[in-house]
């Protein structure tokens, strides 16, 4: 969707490069801040970066959003594990860490299933081209050839077809549930933070 010339592999190179460059500096720098506050900032960056990546068609926003997302991930992931470790009693650390990984066990499959369904039905370019051909031309074509057939029918370039489908279907809808989950997570962290402030004996 971001246009010609942006390869998925290059986006992951951004993720890998930023991780190698900033993981240790961030870890040292963020030691002086409260862990829950740090996690909150990290999740804000994750939601902001993800939203920027999917809500705009311009490739510049995709790269910028992915960069912000990666920075948020670098902040959040280590601190999340560290927080579970610090709030655990000495003889219950394995239990707490097990619960943390249980959340991953639940979240990853649900995220994969939901993401696959939403993107496959509401965000995949080939799927939307197939639906567009059916609705506007009465043509039923194979998914693999739908974009090519649409280009030939309308005599449009790749970018023009992308813009047409983007404006017609608004594929950003496919990502709204994940932005909502991020917003709910931020609300949950704020509620948790307010509970911590009422109890000075709980580690912050």
Only one residue has tokens 């971001």, namely 2
Per-residue pLDDT at 40: 96
Residue by residue, what is the 3-state secondary structure of the chain?
Answer: CCCCCCCHHHHHHHHHHHHHHHHHHHHHHHHHCCHHHHHHHHHHHHHHHHHHHHHCCCHHHHHHHHHHHHHHHHHHHHHHHHHHHHHCCCCCHHHHHHHHHHHHHHHHHHHHHHHHHHHHHHCCHHHHHHHHHHHHHCCCCCHHHHHHHHHHHHCCCHHHHHHHHHHHHCHHHHHHHHHHHHHHHHHHHHHHHHHHHHCCCCCC
Only one residue has tokens 């594929």, namely 171
Q: What is the mean pLDDT of residues 74-88?
A: 87
- In whole angstroms, what is the distance from residue 135 CA to residue 167 CA? 15
Tens digit of pLDDT for each residue in 127-144? 999 999 999 999 999 999
Per-residue pLDDT at 176: 95
String of b and e for 4-18 (b: at least 16 CB within 10 Å)?
A: eeeeeeebeeeeeeb
175 pLDDT higher than 90 = yes
Per-residue pLDDT at 198: 80
Per-residue pLDDT at 114: 94
Q: How high does pLDDT run on average in the chain?
A: 88
The pTM score is: 0.83
Sign for the CA dihedral angle at 152, 154, 160, 166 comes to negative
User: Strands (DSSP E) along 57-204, which ranges?
Assistant: none
Per-residue pLDDT at 72: 95
Tens digit of pLDDT for each residue in 13-72? 888 888 889 888 988 898 889 999 999 999 999 999 999 999 888 888 988 999 999 999
97: burial class by Cβ within 10 Å (0-12, 13-18, 19+)? middle
Q: What is the mean pLDDT of residues 153-162?
A: 93
Between vectors from CA 76 to CA 74 and to CA 79, what angle results, nearest 5°? 105
Per-residue pLDDT at 6: 62
């Amino acid at each position: 969707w971001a246009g010609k010339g942006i390869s998925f592999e290059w986006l992951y190179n951004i993720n890998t490069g930023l991780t190698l460059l900033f993981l240790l500096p961030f870890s040292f720098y963020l030691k002086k801040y409260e862990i829950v506050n740090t996690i909150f900032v990290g999740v804000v960056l994750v939601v902001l970066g993800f939203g920027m990546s999917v809500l705009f068609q311009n490739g510049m926003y995709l790269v910028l959003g992915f960069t912000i997302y990666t920075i948020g991930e670098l902040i959040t992931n280590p601190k999340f594990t560290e927080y579970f470790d610090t709030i655990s009693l000495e003889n219950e650390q394995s239990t707490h860490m097990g619960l943390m990984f249980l959340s991953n066990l639940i979240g990853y499959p649900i995220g994969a299933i939901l993401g696959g369904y939403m993107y496959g039905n509401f965000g995949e370019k080939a799927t939307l081209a197939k639906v567009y051909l059916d609705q506007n031309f009465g043509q039923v074509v194979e998914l693999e050839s739908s974009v090519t057939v649409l280009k030939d029918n309308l005599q449009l370039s790749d970018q023009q077809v992308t813009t047409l489908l983007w404006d017609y279907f608004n594929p950003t809808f496919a990502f709204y549930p994940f932005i909502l989950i991020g917003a709910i997570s931020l609300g949950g962290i704020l509620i948790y933070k307010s509970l911590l402030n009422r109890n000075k004996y709980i580690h912050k």
